[in-house]
Amino acid sequence: MSKPIEVRNPRTGKFDYVIIPPPSKLIAQQCNRSRRAQKSWLQLGLEGRIEALQQWKQAILSGRDKLTEALVNDTGRLSISVLEIDSFLSSIDRWCKLARELLQESKKDTAISFIELQQTAVPYPLVGVISPWNFPLLLATIDTIPALLAGCAVIVKPSEIAPRFVAPLLTALNAVPKLRDVLTFVEGAGETGATLIEYVDLVCFTGSVATGQKVAQAAAKRFIPAFLELGGKDPAIVLPSADLDLATSAILWGSVVNTGQSCLSIERIYVAESIFEQFVEKLVAKAQRLHLAYPTVESGEIGPIIAERQAAIISDHLLDAVEQGAVVHCGGEVENYGGGWWCHPTVLTSVNHSMKVMSEETFGPIMPVMPFSTVEEAVNLANDSIYGLSAAVFASSEAEALEVARYVDAGAISINDAALTALMHEGEKNAFKFSGMGGSRMGPAALTRFMRKKAFLVKTNPIADPWWFDSK
């Protein structure tokens, strides 16, 4: 019998929820059932799969209040939870529409006159999704929805830190038997995720670099694809011509939304020397207007730190920075209120790349600001990282910002705004360096990566001799 896992409430600090990880044998049995059910799911055809997903969406809408309550208990924040549910529901509609455009077989002539090429694609039977705690619902389903539409069965292993949202999803899933047979959630920690990789045909993982490396190695051992979206240390570059009011507002939002608990958060800010003091003054003034969502979930904009171990990392980064001479302009410490861990938006200056807060993923509402003298220096500082997920560049014109952005090593770069990739899903992007590996989870590739292309080479002239045959 697997040992129960107690789950902490991020607002109260109390362990008020329990999950029981399934034994390895049960995971294996579930994977076998899902793989068998996938054949019927594929035979439904695209329109049948769309219908099932739309039925699930309607069932979720009927129980939306319970899903919202579960997400708030998982994360301690309200407005982002509401937004997360909206994004999830709209993604079902978006992918259903795109799937009709993308999943079409084709025929075309080839350079050889008597051979016709017929192209199709075959889904991987069983996809495993291992998702994190910072956006529990959205990141558990961001790969799941397109994989299901492609014709795959999916097994999701959500984070053991924020698993409460699964119960209302399962309640809604029970109303759609065809989908229930091919979409499964298994609860547990790292051991459960490792077991899952042993039985699936493809794995999607979102999380830390350290765990992502283990996932990649396990997948390579089985010779199955692994799509990994890992950590980020996203830089923002503010050029001398930038609109300071726009830049400070955008960077503040990009740094503290969801309490900075996003791989797309701005975590390093490089500002031209000529506007450095003005920038910091404006940023601090705006940061000080934000309040903690305490004592009630409606009290402010900044929610609690969801994972207790992350609170320790944020504290360590702040202490390391201060010990090395960083100046704290606002915020500056992790505090305990009502049993939960909280951190006010924090602006730091006198920082450098020897500090953890400038080199390691902090995952908190921390804004270290560093001056630069030339554009070349700014780009070099932005690229001085093992990460390359996303970035932002601010200038008076789109052309000037784009010219700098082309030299930044990151997969998605927001121009005159921050973290736009969290709002816009069309642009395909790949992570650079240790921020990830595999196909884009945005744009058409997010769906087609769950399928293997297959070519039928049809001889159209039955009387033509084979090319290698010499009748003489």
HSE-up (13 A, CA, CB side) for residue 38: 26
- Residue 444's φ and ψ, nearest 5 degrees, are -55, -35
CA gap 103, 100 in Å, rounded: 6
Entry field: residues in the chain: 472
Closest-CA residue to 361 (of 156, 203, 212): 212
Residue 472 amino acid letter:
K
Biggest alpha carbon distance in the chain?
92
Q: Say if residues 181 and 42 touch (Cβ distance below 8 Å).
A: no
Catalytic residues: 229, 263
- Residue 429: CB partners within 8 Å, gap ≥ 6? 390, 411, 412, 421, 440, 442
CA gap 123, 103 in Å, rounded: 11
CA gap 217, 408 in Å, rounded: 28
Q: Say if residues 236 and 419 touch (Cβ distance below 8 Å).
A: no
